[in-house]
Amino acid sequence: MIRIVLCAVVVFVLQTPAFAGEGRPEFRAMLGQMLLVGFRGAELSDEDSILRDIREHNLGGVILFDRDVQLKTVGRNIQSPAQVRALTARLQAAARTPLFIAVDQEGGRVRRLREAAGFPFSPSAKAMGQGTPDETRQEGERTGRLLADLGINLDFAPVADVDVNPASPAIGALERSFSADPETVAAHAGAFSRGLLSHGVLPCLKHFPGHGSAMADSHLGLTDISRTWSPAELIPYERLIPLGASPLIMCGHLFLERFDADHPATLSPAVLTGLLRERLGFKDVIVSDDMQMRAITAHYGLEEAVLRAVEAGVDILVFGNNLDYDPDIVPKAVDILVRGVDSGRLSRQRIEASFDRISKAKALLATPQGATNGFAGERS
């Protein structure tokens, strides 16, 4: 089953203009690739807005959830293995450019594929961190094998946050960090990433520049880490970026005054361009955390948040459509980006740079890495 899915992805990728050397698509289609959104429905009809967005706006990706937070219901997109396979196949069949189909499958408390729906148990990062990196790699392989079989090709994991504050409501209290030791975090995050890549599933390190010391949860409001954060929280990124361990890094909605006294990391050129790209040398895809989290929506309107994020360096804007639900978020966001370019606030070259990074990452879907080999982007 895994070989069939991967072969299908290879054929799809190689036949898609974005990957076939035929030049870039038209401009609005490039903008669509910069969006990754959630949607409602375990099964889809032709009239569903998500299929419209894939067909008409060249949507770059989707994210699957087991629960609908706003409706307080279960089974939003995930009900059984067979149902998920059918759903992901339907989504990819509508796409002219291969979709990122993403999920948060860290293990432990944060996993969308649960035993009640017929999926195997997976341990938390904290539990994995108490074992060896090789055991964590094997867990990454098991997760990668599961996701590839389901047609899911992007895991918003592993967490690279250091467990500075075990009571941190979004990280430590949920056992999402591998360790309080940043070198241990780097070793296990790299191992889990290697396991995912061995099955053609892309990892995404998160939450840059480090959520582990936070006293608040950015889902609920502004998370200021100015007095608790330390440079040691960058060590996992300093170790893993030169290895090309992950083609995607997710930034957190974290306010860190020493780098930017006005804006959270997601909207900060100083953090994303100055620190992550220029100082740490990350050349690949920067993904936002959910742009509908209260840390953003309580302080910025949609248009300003979208434009500031792209100005800062974000390549893929995530709208989970779970904390809030807007079936028209994709055309709204595309229109905002078009206005940003038309007004001169964003340059066409800035959009093309994101599109090229996204295309490079999607090309990796056709080349799963052997479990004992180097990372997909390892540099000599």
> What pLDDT does 23 receive?
61
Q: Are 214 and 165 in contact (CB under 8 A)?
A: yes
Tell me: the pLDDT tens digits for 191-204? 999 999 999 999 99
Tell me: the pLDDT tens digits for 30-89? 999 999 999 999 999 999 999 999 999 999 999 999 999 999 999 999 999 999 999 999
CA dist., res. 121 & res. 105, Å (int): 11
CA dist., res. 200 & res. 196, Å (int): 7
CA dist., res. 314 & res. 294, Å (int): 18
> What pLDDT does 164 receive?
97
Tokens 């248009």 -> residue: 303
Q: Is the dihedral of CA 18, 14, 20, 203 positive or negative?
A: positive
> What pLDDT does 217 receive?
73
DSSP string, 87-108: HHHHHHHT-SSPPEEEE-EEET
Structure confidence at residue 1 as a pLDDT band (50, 70, 90): very low
With vertex at residue 246, the alpha carbon angle to CA 106 and CA 306, rounded to the nearest 5 degrees, is 85
Whole-Å CA distances, 236 to 6, 186, 231? 30, 4, 11
Q: How big is the chain by its Cα radius of gyration, in Å?
A: 19
Strands (E), 191-261: 202-203, 205-208, 223-224, 248-251, 254-255
193, with CB counted inside 10 A (0-12, 13-18, 19+), is: buried
The token pair that represents 215 in the structure block: 């006293």
* Residue 111 φ/ψ, nearest 5 degrees: -150, 130
CA dist., res. 85 & res. 32, Å (int): 24
> What pLDDT does 144 receive?
98
Q: Work out the average pLDDT over 226-234.
A: 97
Minimum mean pLDDT range among 193-207, 208-222, 226-240? 208-222
3, with CB counted inside 10 A (0-12, 13-18, 19+), is: exposed
Catalytic residue among 57, 188, 199, 219: 219
Catalytic residue check, 188:
no
The token pair that represents 50 in the structure block: 């998500």
**What H or E segment, with its residue span, contains residue 369?**
none
**What H or E segment, with its residue span, contains residue 142?**
helix 133-150
Tell me: the pLDDT tens digits for 91-113? 999 999 999 999 999 999 999 99
CA dist., res. 197 & res. 145, Å (int): 10
The token pair that represents 321 in the structure block: 């459509």
The token pair that represents 371 in the structure block: 């479990």
pLDDT for residue 353 is more than 80: yes
> What pLDDT does 13 receive?
42
CA dist., res. 284 & res. 204, Å (int): 11
Q: Work out the average pLDDT over 118-144.
A: 98
Name the nearest CA neighbour of 161 among 73, 235, 64, 268. 235
Percentage of the chain exceeding pLDDT 70: 90
Q: Are 268 and 239 in contact (CB under 8 A)?
A: no
Tell me: the pLDDT tens digits for 38-49? 999 999 999 999
CA dist., res. 91 & res. 44, Å (int): 9
> What pLDDT does 24 receive?
73
* Residue 229 φ/ψ, nearest 5 degrees: -75, 150
pLDDT for residue 8 is more than 80: no
217: helix, strand or coil = coil
Q: Are 208 and 236 in contact (CB under 8 A)?
A: no
What integer best gives the mean pLDDT of the chain? 92
pLDDT for residue 7 is more than 70: no
**What H or E segment, with its residue span, contains residue 317?**
strand 317-319
Whole-Å CA distances, 255 to 48, 86, 263, 270, 310? 37, 40, 6, 12, 17
Catalytic residue check, 289:
yes
Structure confidence at residue 25 as a pLDDT band (50, 70, 90): confident
> What pLDDT does 14 receive?
36
Catalytic residue among 155, 289, 290, 315: 289
Structure confidence at residue 218 as a pLDDT band (50, 70, 90): confident
